[in-house]
Structure 1
Amino acid sequence: MEQKYLHFRRQKRHHLKRMKRRRMATVAGAVVLICFIILGFLPTFGIISPGTNYCGKSLGFLTVKGAEKKLNKYEKEFQTAEVVLTHKKKSTTLTPPQLGLSVDEEQVAMDALAESRGRRFFGRMGQVFKKEAVQTPLAVDEATLNRRLRDLNGVLYETAKPATVAMKGERAVILPGNKGEVPDTAKARADLSRGIQSPVEIHTRIMEPAIEAQELAGIDGKLAEAVTTYDPADENRTTNVENGARYFRRIVLAPGEKLSFLSTIGGITEAHGFVKGKTVSNGVETEGIGGGVCQVSTTMYNAVARSGLNVMTKFNHSKAVPYAKEGLDCAVSDGYKDFIFANPFTKPVYIETTAKEGTLTCTIYGPAEEKPYTIDLVPEKVRDLPASKEVAYSTDLAPGEIKILRQQVDGSIYITYAVYSVQGRELRRIPVAKSRYVPVDGKVLVGKGK
């Protein structure tokens, strides 16, 4: 009897335990179900679904503002991340800022919430286990990326090298160019915007040399060279001089072809790399975009006119400039003053213009046999153009005190001659330019007391 009672008690306890476990399981299941239902409703209330991440950073359970703050902290970490770029067997490592990459925190946060809301109700609950990433691309500054990819020439790839001309003793020789590669910037931009967690392959395409050796056939001598100097400490002027010179590197003019200085540049504007600098207008110094580029046209003019090329259009400044004698300067101005010249020879000419460390050089190569003479430019003053002086009186100055408001500068007229010589013997002298430098009337304030 006692044994039956003990057996009954054991069964009762087991039954109670099973019932308790069932109740606990039911409660736990209900809690889990409620949690999952809540997860399904979270995006409706502006909260990003758990499991959502961006570049490995979890954005779950955050509002758009909360996600932005978290991503803003990640941005600082992102700025110092390493981006590995590869091409064939070469590789290099840069940082996101060097490639123009950044995280658009606001867009990522908004996309994270939009993707959470875009899923089906049960899909939102399952997102906890999937851990899907937001597909918002990285922001890319195209100008920075393109500039950086160009700088990788010689690091990841070798660009095409154009045929050039160099002096070998007294004779010019043609150095052949070769094919090279150029980066596919559009593909690189798309690949980098998708993420930098793994190495990014930089794709290239084959590029023919800009100048083929056959284009230079017939060039065998240096026709002329002109050199001027500038102050590298003047940063804005240096920028304009060196940027302007880059437009006239490796210029080939076929027989009969002409070159326009302004058309070659395409506009002396900020979009073409020019900045504000000192310019001359009506004999007075002022500031404008491209101040200093006239030194490039002046240096080129002195080389062009001495090389035997035909100068078709040339203007002088309204006042003398420090880098050239009167009569030897050449001014350019968008839509107003252009410098145009043409190749009169039966063979091409090659123009190389460089600006570096304060020295601006323009060298012109061509068929030496078609220019058996030297050409010098000789400016001669025809007459002076006296400036007047305006005197005004002021009680703000002490009696007899003088204040110069505008410096008086006399003008002048010059005729420039091209002097043709052979072995020091002058053959002929031809007027090639007339330059007029305008007088600047002075203005003086004289004190007369109160």
Structure 2
Amino acid sequence: MIHGWIAGLLLLLQQSEAPETATKDGTSPIQANVQREAYRLDYVDLPLIDNERLNRLMVEMEKKAYRKPVNAIISDAGVIVKEIPGARLNRKAFVEQFYNHFYSDGPLEFDVPQSSIYPKVDSELLASIRVHPIGYYVTYFNSNNKHRFTNIKLATQAINNYVVLPNETFSFNRVVGVRTRGRGYMPAKVIVRGEFSEGIGGGICQTSSTLFNAADRAGLTIVERYSHSRSVPYVPSGRDATVNWGGPDFSFKNNYNQPVLIRAQALPGRVYVSIYSSEQINHKPRHVPGASKALPEEITVGADPNKSAP
């Protein structure tokens, strides 16, 4: 118990820079307002601090203080939308302020000190890597299947504006996330062990396949890719990339010394994926065959198994 008293005296003697006071909602700081008696241990002449309760308080403050940073993006109009820094609890400064207030006569109330979390992608970086296209690919689909179109759009939006730093590996499953009804994904045709069936998120393999061909054309290192158990009509034979949450993934590594930017868009009947970087990149493109522009017919579950899958 004596350690808490000694630590308190040491913290009072230390001089440190004033921590920044960030805000949760941009209008007012987060307040720490606690009852001194709840943290007091009266085992010796000088009161000690109950460090277990203090740790629990910090966990609570961490939840309140955390604000996820937001990357800069390029809007649909082609304008760069500025990044928004995030915030987290500055634990060291919080403990110092807590001890200072605890061993003073005033109320145990102070603004919670926070540290900034800087986004991975800021406006300056985005402006430098949006200028030079190094790979692209377009695939086509029948947009009459509204559920499938919805799934393709959601997956395409998830990868749009994603920046892959040098030596970083992009994982389609990690970036797109789990495909559930709660996230807007709809049931549509999928291929399971060579057979057609209905599954939530059916159709997003067209997005992953389009991305694969764009990344391959850009000369990026393909780390993980699997083909469907039967042919698909939206890419040439052997040029698809099947994905499934908890199963096959598509991933590639940025082997260049410059970041690369993924720009993706799904419009009725078409999926576009382009890869951009800075003009300083010395990329080595590969030849990739283009996709057929013929729109596939809709195929229902139980259809002729000799036909290709959507």
Same fold (TM over 0.5): yes
What TM-score bracket applies, with the shorter chain setting the length? Answer: 0.5 to 0.7
Aligned residues of 1:217 and 1:347 also touching (Cα < 8 A): no
Which residue in the other structure is 1:339 paired with? 250
Pairs within 5 Å for 1:413-424: none
Give the greater-gyration-radius structure (CA).
1
Pairs within 5 Å for 1:13-412: 162-164=72-74, 176-178=80-82, 211-216=121-126, 218-219=128-129, 220-371=131-282, 373-377=284-288, 407=304, 409=306
Match of 2:238, SS?
A: coil
Cα distance in 1 between the residues matched to 2:73 and 2:282: 23
Q: Deviations over 1:31-51 (max 9, x none)?
A: xxxxxxxxxxxxxxxxxxxxx
Report the structure, 1 or 2, having the larger strand content: 1
Aligned residues of 1:218 and 1:347 also touching (Cα < 8 A): no
Report the number of matched residues: 196
Gap change, CA 1:284 and 1:259, over 3 Å in 2? same
Cα distance in 2 between the residues matched to 1:333 and 1:161: 26
Aligned residues of 1:299 and 1:360 also touching (Cα < 8 A): yes
Cα distance in 2 between the residues matched to 1:355 and 1:209: 26
Gap change, CA 1:235 and 1:339, over 3 Å in 2? same
Shift of 1:335: 1.3
Shift of 1:374: 3.2
Shift of 1:342: 1.3
Shift of 1:178: 3.1
Aligned residues of 1:332 and 1:338 also touching (Cα < 8 A): yes
Match of 1:334, SS?
A: coil
Q: One-letter code of the match for 1:213? A: S
Task: Compute the RMSD of aligned alpha carbons.
Answer: 3.4
Shift of 1:226: 0.7
Q: Deviations over 1:243-299 (max 9, x none)?
A: 111111110111111111111122122222211000112222111111101001000
Q: One-letter code of the match for 2:134? A: L
Cα distance in 1 between the residues matched to 2:229 and 2:270: 24
Cα distance in 2 between the residues matched to 1:353 and 1:323: 16
Q: Relative contact order (C-alpha < 8 Å, sep 6+): which is higher?
A: 2
Match of 1:370, SS?
A: coil
Gap change, CA 1:282 and 1:258, over 3 Å in 2? same
Report the structure, 1 or 2, having the larger helix content: 1
TM-score of the pair, normalised by structure 2: 0.55
Gap change, CA 1:233 and 1:334, over 3 Å in 2? same
Shift of 1:177: 3.5
Which residue in the other structure is 2:10 paired with? none
Cα distance in 2 between the residues matched to 1:408 and 1:165: 42
Structure 1 stretches lacking a partner, 5+ long = 1-159, 167-173, 181-207, 380-404, 412-436, 438-450
Gap change, CA 1:216 and 1:307, over 3 Å in 2? same
Aligned residues of 2:222 and 2:253 also touching (Cα < 8 A): yes
Q: Deviations over 1:290-317 (max 9, x none)?
A: 1101001000001011111111000000
Q: One-letter code of the match for 2:82? A: N
Cα distance in 2 between the residues matched to 1:301 and 1:332: 11
Percentage of pairs with the same residue: 28
Gap change, CA 1:313 and 1:358, over 3 Å in 2? same
Cα distance in 2 between the residues matched to 1:319 and 1:333: 15
Match of 2:188, SS?
A: strand
Q: One-letter code of the match for 1:223? A: I
Cα distance in 2 between the residues matched to 1:366 and 1:248: 16
Cα distance in 2 between the residues matched to 1:279 and 1:410: 14
Cα distance in 1 between the residues matched to 2:213 and 2:124: 28
Q: One-letter code of the match for 2:210? A: T
